[in-house]
């Protein structure tokens, strides 16, 4: 997640910064990413024009990227907070499920609606209502699955309010992936 630096607002704009053109109420604002800076005293920025919803580049009919030029006085830095989404549960995430002092670790393999009807979480992402269907794993290095009766993996349903997404660390000297221990100092 991006932490906003208030000192950066006062620093001059440079290549790679996102800007919004200041305009009157009759014209639409243009959003852009600076690709070139011209001038010494009166700076002008050449920017790639971006869509305001997802900051992806706008293309012309001949598939070239649209650009525009704007002076330093007619633009300001874009606040990127509204473009960053909060981390949500996705299939394949490793979670820590806590209930009454006991912890289970699991890998999300699906979503289940509480009323057992079809869920849209597979197409649109986790919706906040569904239960998380997980395969229980051991927190040992390598993250092996726990095996239940009849040699099948243990599966459990977890409520999203009792779960946290775990950070996975790469192989160490012992080998195998492992879950980050948040009690250890870094």
Residues 122 and 148 in one domain: yes
Assigned domain for 7 exists: no
* Predicted pLDDT at 186: 46
Residues 26 and 57 in one domain: yes
Residues 58 and 98 in one domain: no
Residues 79 and 20 in one domain: yes
Structure-model confidence comparison of residues 12 and 59, the more confident one: 59
Q: Which pLDDT band, with edges at 50, 70 and 90, does 64 fall under?
A: very high
Quick check: helix, strand or coil at residue 121?
A: helix
Element holding 123 (H helix, E strand): helix 121-124
Q: Which pLDDT band, with edges at 50, 70 and 90, does 177 fall under?
A: confident
Residues 75 and 113 in one domain: no
* Predicted pLDDT at 119: 87
Assigned domain for 102 exists: yes
165 DSSP 8-state letter: E
Residues 63 and 29 in one domain: yes
Tokens representing residue 18 in the block = 């996102």
Domain count for the chain: 2
Burial of 111 (0-12, 13-18, 19+ CB in 10 A): buried
Domain edge (last residue) among 40, 64, 83: 83
Classify each residue of 31-49 as buried b or exposed e, where b means 16 or more C-beta atoms within 10 Å of its C-beta: bbbbeeeeeeeeeebebbb
Determine contact, residues 158/89, Cβ cutoff 8 Å. no
Assigned domain for 24 exists: yes
Residues 42 and 101 in one domain: no
Residues 77 and 99 in one domain: no
Domain edge (last residue) among 83, 113, 141: 83
Assigned domain for 1 exists: no
Complete DSSP assignment for 132-157: EEEEEE-SSTT-PBPB-GGG-B-EEE
User: Residue 37's domain is classified under what CATH number?
Assistant: 2.30.30
* Predicted pLDDT at 171: 72
Complete DSSP assignment for 17-62: -EEEE---SSSPP-EEEEEEEE-SSS-EEEEEEE-TTT-PBPB-TT
Q: Which domain holds residue 108?
A: 94-179
* Predicted pLDDT at 38: 93
Domain edge (last residue) among 62, 83, 104: 83
Q: What is d(CA 65, CA 158) in angstroms, rounded to the nearest whole number?
A: 46
Sign of CA dihedral 8, 13, 14, 18: positive
Assigned domain for 36 exists: yes
Determine contact, residues 75/22, Cβ cutoff 8 Å. yes
Residues 71 and 141 in one domain: no
* Predicted pLDDT at 60: 92
Residues 74 and 109 in one domain: no
Report the number of secondary-structure helices (H) and strands (E) in the chain.
1, 12
Q: What is d(CA 81, CA 73) in angstroms, rounded to the nearest whole number?
A: 23
Residues 22 and 74 in one domain: yes
Residues 98 and 169 in one domain: yes
Assigned domain for 106 exists: yes
């Amino acid at each position: 997640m991006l932490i906003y630096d208030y000192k950066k607002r006062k620093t001059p704009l440079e290549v790679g910064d996102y800007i919004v053109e200041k305009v009157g109420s009759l014209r639409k604002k243009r959003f852009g990413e600076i690709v070139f800076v011209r001038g010494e005293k009166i700076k002008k920025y050449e920017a790639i024009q971006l869509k305001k919803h997802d900051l992806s580049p706008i293309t012309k009919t001949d598939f070239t990227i649209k650009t525009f030029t704007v002076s330093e006085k007619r633009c300001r830095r874009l606040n990127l907070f509204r473009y960053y989404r909060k981390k949500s549960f996705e299939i394949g995430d490793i979670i820590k499920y806590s209930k009454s002092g006991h912890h289970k670790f699991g890998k999300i393999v699906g979503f289940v609606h509480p009323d057992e009807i079809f869920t849209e979480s597979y197409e649109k992402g986790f919706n906040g209502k569904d239960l998380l269907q997980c395969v229980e794993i051991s927190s040992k290095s390598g993250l092996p699955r726990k095996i239940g009766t009849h040699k099948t993996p243990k599966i459990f349903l977890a409520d999203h309010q009792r779960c946290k997404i775990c950070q996975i660390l790469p192989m160490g000297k012992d080998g195998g992936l492992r879950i980050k221990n948040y009690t250890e100092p870094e």
